[in-house]
């Protein structure tokens, strides 16, 4: 229902019916995505990297400090699978990084559907450019963070037989229906392999089917007694690790599970269950270890009654209604480029 003083207007590009306020007129997000895609074909607003090829847009952060981050929140505005909490997730992560872990705000690149800069809309091309910006000229002692809140999927058959379940995990950019998803192989190649010795990357992925979405060599399995065992996911004929640095992924759920977009945890504001539980655990326990962090996140999610208030972060999936009927089972996961003692190693960015 439109509020007083608003009118409705149909977008000439995508035919989506929009409510338009005379105070705050908005452009159709779907029509704007098509404009952005055509703009990206022009190299005039892109800067060159050291190799002389196209790098990233000139409007990206000028500073490239020792601590830097890329935060992506995809809402899919106007779609039947629209998410409500992804922008909140990005804002909360940005506050956490700047206030708790001393990341300079000037070194944080944010991509969301509502950004005014067309190169900061989370299309596939923009997300890949942002990931390359993050790892560009990575040096020892650099600390990088990549955060994604949005849809993920597990619909692409693995053509190289690298996956134990035979499926590639994916992230869904805003334009994935037309330009495709971002495969775990591609994420590994862009984000993981360039990390040099003594540098570290933390990927925080709040999406469905995200357990091994960075294709890291080792996945941490924790049983009910708290015992940790590292599963070896290293493919036989391909390197999936770093150049010597440390890459760690904390994901919202296992590869065969779904993640929730819900207001049940905060009580009023919609967030990703994984992002909320991560921030709550870090804020409550300075110096927390990875093992304690994972345990706390799982406890927060399992202790909440979110089955009636959750929207699954999976745009496809025939079992969505069945999961909501019987309650959500979302277990955050930890994967890494190397094995370590999760109960001794503190979480540091």
End-to-end CA, the chain: 44
Cα 235 from chain centroid?
24
Q: What is the pTM of this model?
A: 0.80
Q: How many domains does the chain have?
A: 1
- 33 within domain boundaries: no
**Alpha-carbon Rg for the chain in angstroms:** 20
Averaged over 205-218, what is the pLDDT? 93
- In tens, the pLDDT along 295-305 reads 999 888 887 65
Active site residue 151: yes
- 89 within domain boundaries: yes
Write down the number of H helices and E strands in the chain. 8, 18
Is 247 a residue whose pLDDT tops 80?
yes
pLDDT at 58: 83
- Answer for the pair 343, 291: CB distance below 8 angstroms, yes or no: yes
- % of residues, the chain, pLDDT over 90: 55
The active-site residue out of 72, 107, 151, 209 is 151
Averaged over 323-349, what is the pLDDT? 82
pLDDT at 166: 64
| CATH code of the domain covering residue 307 | 3.40.50.12660
Averaged over 35-62, what is the pLDDT? 55
- In tens, the pLDDT along 101-131 reads 999 999 999 999 999 999 999 999 999 999 9
- 213 within domain boundaries: yes
pLDDT at 299: 87
pLDDT at 150: 96
Active site residue 208: yes
Q: How far apart are CA 268 and CA 42, in angstroms?
A: 43
- 49 within domain boundaries: no
- 276 within domain boundaries: yes
pLDDT band for position 160 (50/70/90)? low
- 51 within domain boundaries: no
The active-site residue out of 28, 138, 172, 208 is 208
pLDDT band for position 244 (50/70/90)? very high
- 74 within domain boundaries: yes
- Answer for the pair 95, 101: CB distance below 8 angstroms, yes or no: no
- 45 within domain boundaries: no
Averaged over 65-80, what is the pLDDT? 96
Enumerate residues 6+ apart whose C-beta is below 8 A from 288.
281, 282, 296, 346, 347
Q: How far apart are CA 73 and CA 204, in angstroms?
A: 12
Domain enclosing residue 164, as ranges: 60-336
pLDDT band for position 147 (50/70/90)? very high
Which residue has better confidence, 50 or 77? 77
Q: How far apart are CA 95 and CA 279, in angstroms?
A: 10
């Amino acid at each position: 229902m439109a509020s007083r003083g608003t009118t409705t207007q149909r977008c000439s590009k995508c035919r989506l019916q929009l409510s338009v306020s005379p105070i705050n007129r908005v452009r159709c997000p779907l029509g704007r995505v098509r404009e952005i895609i055509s703009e990206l074909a022009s190299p005039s607003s892109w800067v060159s990297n050291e190799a002389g090829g196209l790098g990233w847009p000139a409007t990206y952060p000028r500073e490239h400090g020792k601590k830097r981050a890329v935060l992506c929140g995809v809402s899919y505005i106007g779609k039947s699978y629209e998410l409500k909490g992804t922008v909140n997730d990005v804002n909360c992560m940005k506050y956490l990084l700047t206030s708790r872990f001393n990341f300079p705000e000037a070194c944080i690149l944010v991509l969301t559907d509502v950004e005014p800069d067309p190169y900061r809309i989370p299309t596939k091309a923009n997300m890949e450019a942002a990931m390359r910006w993050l790892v560009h000229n990575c040096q020892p002692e650099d600390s990088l963070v990549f955060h994604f809140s949005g849809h993920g999927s597990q619909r692409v058959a693995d053509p190289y037989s690298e996956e134990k379940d035979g499926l590639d995990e994916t992230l869904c950019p805003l334009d994935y229906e037309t330009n495709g998803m971002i495969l775990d192989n591609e994420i590994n190649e862009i984000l993981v392999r360039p990390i040099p010795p003594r540098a570290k990357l933390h990927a925080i992925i709040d999406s469905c089917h995200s357990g091994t979405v960075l294709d890291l060599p080792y996945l941490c399995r924790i049983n009910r007694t708290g015992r940790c065992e590292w599963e070896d996911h290293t493919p036989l004929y391909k390197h999936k690790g770093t150049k010597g640095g440390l890459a760690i992924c904390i994901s919202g759920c296992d590869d065969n599970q779904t993640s929730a977009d819900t207001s049940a945890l905060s009580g009023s504001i919609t967030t990703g269950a994984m992002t909320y539980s991560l921030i709550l655990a870090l804020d409550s326990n300075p110096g927390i270890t990875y093992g304690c962090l994972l345990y706390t996140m799982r406890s927060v999610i399992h202790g909440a009654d979110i089955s009636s208030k959750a929207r699954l972060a999976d745009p496809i999936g025939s079992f969505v209604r069945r999961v909501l009927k019987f309650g959500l089972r979302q277990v955050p996961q930890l994967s890494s480029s190397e094995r370590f003692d999760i109960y001794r190693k503190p979480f540091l960015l």
